[in-house]
Structure 1
Amino acid sequence: MSKRWTQTVIGIILLGLFFGWVRHVDAEAEQDAQLLLSVAKPVMQTNQKITFKYTGYFGACSGVNARVIAAGQSLSQELGFRTKDNEQSSNVQGIYTVKSEVAAGAVMTLTVASPVGQSACYAVIRLDALGSVEQDQLLKWQEKMTTLLINQGIQGNWNVMIQGNAVQDLVLENSPKEFLTDLVRSYKGYVVESYEDTTTFSLSLASSDFETSIRSGDQKVNVQIALHLDTTSGLWRLTVGTPIITMEY
């Protein structure tokens, strides 16, 4: 479990650093999230899951476990984590994690880590919510976290994703490719990278309507869309993320 946690956290961090977000967090982050969700939700029917994730540097822990714990506890208090019976925390070497329910169907998680051989601490604040949670409530949470994180001097990046079963009639009415083409138009984007196999279609878009972006090679990417056929249920699962998807689709 310790190894898995370490790989997960470092993977998230290195993914962001490797691709390199073009913009740091600012007021436009909430606008990007609102646009992403507003377009994707109407074409999803069931099992909606929404994830907000922010990754940034948080001081220097030098890989010392006591410093990681102290940094995590301090930051969790500043971000409003409350000590309740339903709060769960774990402490493995070099990683501090705490969870807290912020609303029915919405749980936020803070992870502070200091990988071996590095002096910096990294903070990952994440909100996992069901699609039934009001969108305005999620956006207000993001806005609040943005302010608190900046006040703590944590410069980083937001990654927002939504996943759920697509409205099957829309997919089958024409074809999966046409369904995705309609989404590309809705996001006012154009395709810069694509991938497909027998059960999966994935598109990376550049769109001037989004502020947050990454560089993938010499291309700018603002939005990533993936459509995957679950061969067990026969349903098409849609995943959309800005600037990219960092969850399994």
Structure 2
Amino acid sequence: MGLGNRGIGKGKGKGKLTLLIFCMSVAVLLLAGFRSGADQPTAGVPAATDTASLGVAELQKSLALLSSAGQEVTAAGSPLRLVLKWQGEYSGDSDSFKNASDMLAEQLGLGKIEAREEDGHATYRASGSQDAYSKISMFWSQLGSDSSYVIVTVETRDLLKADTFQAAAEEAGTLMFSAGITPEWNASLQGTAKAQSGPDTALFSIEQSIQEQLPGMNPAESYEDDTTYSRSYSVPDLERVVSSGNHLIALQLAVHKDGNNNTNRVTLGLPLITIEY
């Protein structure tokens, strides 16, 4: 199934966009989990350092793709906001994860940890700035007596001006591996769309613009309302995928008409968009 037909995969959605996409993304990411070619059984189990290297190498390629595709579909001079999240589970009791969270926050160069109880779970948060354009934050939440979930977010408001962003993103993943966490990443890039027609027409234009960089991209699922069009795709050359129904999703695109300034905002997500668009 190609991208030449604009009617492919359209479906009606109801309810608030943010709630729908947030719930879908979180449920898929946390419950179904990520799959990639590197996750398939092999003759031996790679060492933690090898696994970290694989994850970082894959991230490097994906950030380059996001940057290239983002510049292709956004207006000249549009800031490219990028949000990169590493997330994974940590095994250990409350004392163990408290010590590990303190150490990880310190290694990431974050400020003082704020401890609190949220929804009956002990949580720890910390954040700090990487440069004038970027920031990093850590969220560590206890799931049970011997496990917790960790999310480290590296974000920049303008990727093209954030000199330290990629190094900080790579280091965050490596440090999580070293802390005994096997994290997976997801990345979302956002900017003002070059195509400023209706959201549906703009999304079609964006699809055509990036087909050459993502050969074989095939629509799998879609969402639309009065101001937003979004589609997710399978892409043969992308290793990071997430299971959704019968599909393995590698990319999500969305165009939203901003009522405040009447411009289209485009968001690209690998493998899914996990921020509000």
Q: 1:33 aligns with which of 63, 74, 86?
A: 63
Q: 1:166 aligns with which of 193, 196, 215?
A: 193
**CA distance in structure 2 between the aligned counterparts of 1:133 and 1:97, rounded to whole angstroms:** 28
Backbone CA RMSD of aligned residues: 2.7
Asked whether the 8 Å contact 1:34–1:139 carries over to 2, the reply is no
The runs of 5 or more residues in structure 2 that have no matched partner are: 1-22, 40-53
Matched AA of 2:149:
Y
**CA distance in structure 1 between the aligned counterparts of 2:66 and 2:162, rounded to whole angstroms:** 11
Asked whether the 8 Å contact 1:225–1:240 carries over to 2, the reply is yes
Matched AA of 1:55:
Q
Matched AA of 2:31:
F
**CA distance in structure 1 between the aligned counterparts of 2:265 and 2:183, rounded to whole angstroms:** 29
Equivalent position of 1:3 in the other structure:
none
Deviation, 1:104, is: 1.2
Matched AA of 1:199:
T
Q: 2:205 aligns with which of 167, 172, 179?
A: 179
* TM-score, normalised relative to structure 2: 0.73
Q: 1:58 aligns with which of 90, 98, 106?
A: 90
* TM-score, normalised relative to structure 1: 0.81
Q: For residues 152-192 of structure 1, what are the alpha-carbon distances to aligned partners after superposition, in whole Å with 9 as ceiling and x for unaligned?
A: 221121011111221245x47x9324323224514321111
Secondary structure of the structure 2 residue equivalent to 1:103: coil
Matched AA of 2:102:
Q
Q: 1:76 aligns with which of 105, 123, 130?
A: 105
- The aligned runs of 1:210-229 (5 Å cut-off) are 210-229=238-257
Report the structure, 1 or 2, having the larger strand content.
1
Deviation, 1:199, is: 1.2
Equivalent position of 1:241 in the other structure:
269
Secondary structure of the structure 2 residue equivalent to 1:175: helix
Secondary structure of the structure 2 residue equivalent to 1:41: helix
**CA distance in structure 2 between the aligned counterparts of 1:232 and 1:178, rounded to whole angstroms:** 23
Q: 1:90 aligns with which of 83, 104, 114?
A: 114
**CA distance in structure 2 between the aligned counterparts of 1:42 and 1:181, rounded to whole angstroms:** 11
Q: For residues 122-172 of structure 1, what are the alpha-carbon distances to aligned partners after superposition, in whole Å with 9 as ceiling and x for unaligned?
A: 111101111155466322222222322222221121011111221245x47
Asked whether the 8 Å contact 1:195–1:203 carries over to 2, the reply is yes
Find out whether 1:154 has 2:181 as its counterpart.
Answer: yes
**CA distance in structure 2 between the aligned counterparts of 1:177 and 1:44, rounded to whole angstroms:** 12
**CA distance in structure 1 between the aligned counterparts of 2:248 and 2:222, rounded to whole angstroms:** 13
Equivalent position of 1:22 in the other structure:
35
**CA distance in structure 2 between the aligned counterparts of 1:212 and 1:75, rounded to whole angstroms:** 25
Q: 2:81 aligns with which of 45, 49, 58?
A: 49
Matched AA of 2:124:
Y
Q: Work out the percentage of aligned pairs sharing the same amino acid.
A: 23
Find out whether 1:204 has 2:232 as its counterpart.
Answer: yes
Paired residue total: 229
Q: 2:130 aligns with which of 96, 102, 108?
A: 102
